[in-house]
Amino acid sequence: MDEAQLAQVESLCETLYTGTSSNGESYSREEAQSRLLSLQSNASFIPQCQYILDRSKSQYALLVASNSLTELITTHWNNFTIAQRIDIRNYVLGYLANNGPTLQDFVTLSLIKLVCRITKLGWFDDPTHRELTEDVTKFLQATVDHCILGLQILNQLVDELNIATTGRTLTQHRKTSVSFRDLCLFKVFQLGLTTLKQLQTRQITCSSQRQEVILGGQALGLTVRCLNFDFIGTNPDESTEDVGTIQAPSNWRPVLQDPATIELLLDFYANTEPPRSNKAMEAVILICSVRRSLFPSDKEREAFLGRIIGGIRELLKNQTGLQHQDNYHQFCRLLGRLKANYQLSELVKTEGYLEWLELAARFTTQSIRNWQYSTNSIHYLLALWGRLVAAVPYVRPDTGAKGHVQALENHVLSVVECYIESMLGSVETVLRSDGALEDPLEDDGSLMEQMDRLPTISRFQYSSVAKLIVAKFDPLMDKYREIMQHLMTTSTDSAPPNIAQQAAILEGQ
């Protein structure tokens, strides 16, 4: 490739991504795409891609060259010798070290994907590929921009090794994934936490608020990715928010059990804004979901649970960060997840359980009353109460906090009463909003989630809840009959002006 050919490639790239060309040549986007795809057709085009990366000033040309290299490496992997693979890997890593901070984000991410793809495919070829974590540590120790770049590489590396690549068998993927888990993942997790600690203690000096936000976001993202790793090959469904048990290896215990880890994440949650704060809360949820067998004794597990309950109590008392929708949603997930991973017999023994129960009930009723902002989160709170009441028959009344069963009965009744009143009130609120508000009773997905949990909660106080429902609905039915009778016996002209709206409200209720 020469300068003239490079200029033509740059022109085609500009046409492809912007629809215009700076050198006056007229190509359609389809034609430009077709011609540029030829760079991905044969491994012999790798030198041309490298030439573009070395010489071009066009960010679009750099993106096309990087994407083409990724496709060529993936498709023609077996055509390269081990030495060639290492050369390409070192070239891209060196290119990122020298030019990464000055590149556009989309170019940087493409190059990072390329180096991580090479690392994955060559994992068992040579020890060099398994040393990427050590190589990236040099990025973390350089400038803040390089530190951000290093964290981006580690984030992509965890994703690359956790997600199967098209064209490779599941056996090949799991073999590489397990090796990465055993050799590197814990160190990557520690690097994420260390960066967060350095940010918290101001050991890393950022030149701007934006730089600090990006760095914190990358470190938190890395922490979450490591905890979300498919440790045992269960291929969890990523389309759901439900967190299963985190099957962290035993050598992770000292860090996960360390009180400083939860404190660090809760501190980040309390002192940052979304998306960093809700990412920190997501990490807390995952740590709360670690497998029971990770703890060598019940005493250590109880101490761990006690720290979590204590942290939640403080957040509930101070309403920390809950004014933000994303934080609020993640906090509801944390409450919903708590009983799924811990037995009621363990919860009632924790210090401050009754206070936590009261605060959780208050938070639940407050959330239900503000249904306009919490429709997609209420089912997590109802899941908490459903799991608590379902476990009561298996816990002796004299276990743990005194009077915990009676306290639960009282709080459950208040939650159910609040839910019924709020949903009845929502009918009138929605109708009077003239379409400005969405009807929570017509949101089939959220409503189904709530209805799945409500019967379990209601049966716990069956008699009281039944009386409550009758007390609420009988007067509504009487009023509805009265209005209908009035409409049938009088002319429309003489009827009160709002009679139709009243009828619609009662029908909805």
Q: What is the pLDDT of residue 491?
A: 60
CA 156 from centroid of its chain's CA atoms:
16
Q: In this predicted model, what pLDDT tens digit does every residue of 37-56 receive, in sequence order? A: 999 988 889 999 999 999 99
Q: What is the pLDDT of residue 150?
A: 97
For residue 438, give both structure tokens: 């969405």
Report in angstroms the alpha-carbon separations of 283 from 28, 55, 193, 313, 333.
Answer: 47, 42, 11, 18, 12
Q: What is the pLDDT of residue 238?
A: 54
Q: What is the pLDDT of residue 22?
A: 67
Please enumerate in sequence order all residues whose Cβ is within 8 A of that of 79, keeping only pairs 6 or more positions apart, or say none: 43
Q: What is the pLDDT of residue 354?
A: 95
Low-confidence ranges of the chain (pLDDT < 70): 22-25, 235-243, 491-497
Would the pTM of this model clear 0.85, i.e. be above it? yes
The C-alpha torsion from 325 through 328 and 334 to 337, rounded to 10°, is -70
Q: What is the pLDDT of residue 105?
A: 94
CB 142 within 8 A of CB 198: no
Question: What percentage of the chain's residues is helix, strand, coil (to nearest 5)?
Answer: 75, 0, 25
